[in-house]
């Protein structure tokens, strides 16, 4: 056993001894684990980590899980853990990091992302929500849309336009917004499944302190790119074990329901299983890049592959189930429970997975990124990159 492994084992034992999971309050335990540097060991000391290689984290998580320790309910704060934390770690001041990161990891404060707008989705650089300087604060007006978790969140990653006379990529700035601020109005958006998973958020003279800015004024696009690259790896690399993720339900159905097996579907199942395993292994490699703060454009390929796999797996599951797959009838308007992985019928997943090729960047945009930034192919002609944003057609 290496010196690092010995030290980690000692630290884990210390937390479990001082805070027995079966008798310790959940948040008290999570705070103790964070303070011991065992939240994410690759983060700096004092921010839940020990400055180690990210490869040690799965072993740490496994030991805590085997001991019956509570986790930080990652499904309920996917944007905070996968996108906000690495952005804050890279661009925030030490004081901001100490304020935001600990309650983010423990799940005491949920985060969301205020990027997309009704007129700026795939072309996010065209975002027009305005921010006007007023002393030591900025006054923000505009509308954001497709915002997951905004109804539960305390903090939001906010992209706004501070320089309307500059070209669209140059006139953006990036802030962290406290969603309890007056002027923030969160409204639900109902989906095909009946759920209100997403929201639209209206910002009416919302004051954001300049001290909540990440990056320099006008550098919002650079900070946004870091967030988006983390997002795509987080979406595409979520399946951590073999036969988890989209392929899991299909494989279990094939094994446990002989009546659902049809010879003509066997080749399709094998192809999907192989694709899922390739995706899992690629996700593990790119996930290590994410954890050390260095995600690259390759994450777009991961996200694209995940979307196609999830939709194909849902379609195959419906084929195997036949008429039984039509039993989904839960159309009541409701908020989903993000505290644990959703346990839904096949019909739900077939409908929900239609969004996989849109959310987190459309599959068309992912293909553009792969072709230009990974394969080095010529980019599409762009005629609006040097025109002031205010002069662009709206």
Q: Report, as residue numbers or ranges, the catalytic residues.
A: 231
Phi then psi for residue 189, to 5 deg, are -120, 120
Six-digit token pair at 386? 């040097």
Q: What is the DSSP letter of 140?
A: E
Between CA 278 and CA 367 the distance in angstroms is 19
Between CA 198 and CA 147 the distance in angstroms is 5
- Residue 345 neighbours by CB distance under 10 Å: 16
Six-digit token pair at 12? 């884990």
Strands (E), 100-252: 111-114, 130-134, 137-145, 155-161, 172-178, 184-189, 198-209
Q: Quick check: 42 and 290 in contact, CB under 8 A?
A: no
Between CA 77 and CA 338 the distance in angstroms is 8
Six-digit token pair at 307? 């979307």
Q: What is the largest CA-CA distance in the chain?
A: 70
Half-sphere exposure of 13 (CA within 13 A, CB side): 6
Q: Quick check: 177 and 158 in contact, CB under 8 A?
A: yes
- Residue 242 neighbours by CB distance under 10 Å: 14
Q: Quick check: 262 and 320 in contact, CB under 8 A?
A: yes
Q: Which residues, in sequence order, are bridge partners of residue 185? A: 202
Between CA 287 and CA 302 the distance in angstroms is 10
């Amino acid at each position: 056993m290496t010196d690092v492994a010995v030290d980690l084992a000692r630290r884990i034992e210390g937390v479990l001894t001082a805070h027995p999971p079966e008798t310790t309050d959940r948040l008290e335990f999570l705070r103790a684990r964070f303070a011991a540097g065992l939240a994410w060991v690759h983060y700096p000391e004092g921010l839940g980590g020990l400055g180690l290689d990210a490869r040690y984290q799965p072993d740490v998580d496994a030991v805590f899980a085997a001991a019956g320790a509570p986790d930080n309910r990652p499904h309920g704060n996917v944007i905070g853990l996968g996108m906000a934390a690495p952005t804050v770690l890279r661009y925030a001041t030490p004081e901001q990091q100490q304020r935001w990161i600990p309650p983010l990891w423990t799940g005491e404060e949920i985060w969301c992302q205020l990027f997309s707008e009704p007129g700026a989705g795939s072309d996010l650089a065209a975002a027009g929500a305005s921010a006007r300087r007023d002393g030591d604060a900025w006054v923000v007006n505009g509308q954001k849309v497709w915002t997951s978790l905004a109804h539960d969140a305390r903090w939001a990653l906010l992209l706004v336009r501070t320089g309307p006379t500059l070209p669209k990529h140059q006139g953006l700035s990036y802030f962290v917004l406290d969603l309890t601020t007056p002027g923030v109005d969160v409204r639900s958006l109902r989906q095909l499944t009946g759920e209100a998973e997403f929201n639209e958020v209206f910002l009416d003279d919302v004051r954001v302190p300049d001290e909540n800015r990440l990056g320099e004024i006008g550098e919002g696009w650079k900070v946004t790119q870091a967030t988006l690259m983390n997002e795509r790896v987080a979406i595409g690399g979520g399946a951590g074990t073999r036969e988890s993720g989209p392929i899991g339900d299909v494989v279990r159905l094939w094994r446990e329901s002989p009546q659902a097996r049809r010879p003509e579907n066997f080749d399709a199942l094998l192809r999907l299983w192989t694709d899922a395993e390739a995706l899992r292994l690629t996700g593990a490699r790119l996930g290590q890049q994410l954890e050390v703060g260095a995600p690259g454009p390759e994450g777009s390929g991961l996200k694209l592959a995940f979307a196609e796999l999830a939709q194909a797996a849902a379609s195959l599951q419906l084929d195997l189930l036949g008429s039984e797959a039509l039993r989904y009838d839960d159309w009541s308007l409701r908020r989903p429970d993000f505290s644990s992985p959703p346990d839904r019928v096949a019909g739900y997943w077939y409908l929900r997975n239609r969004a996989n090729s849109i959310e987190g960047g459309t599959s068309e945009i992912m293909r553009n990124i792969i072709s230009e930034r990974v394969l080095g192919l010529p980019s599409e002609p762009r005629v609006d990159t040097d025109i002031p944003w205010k002069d662009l057609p709206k």
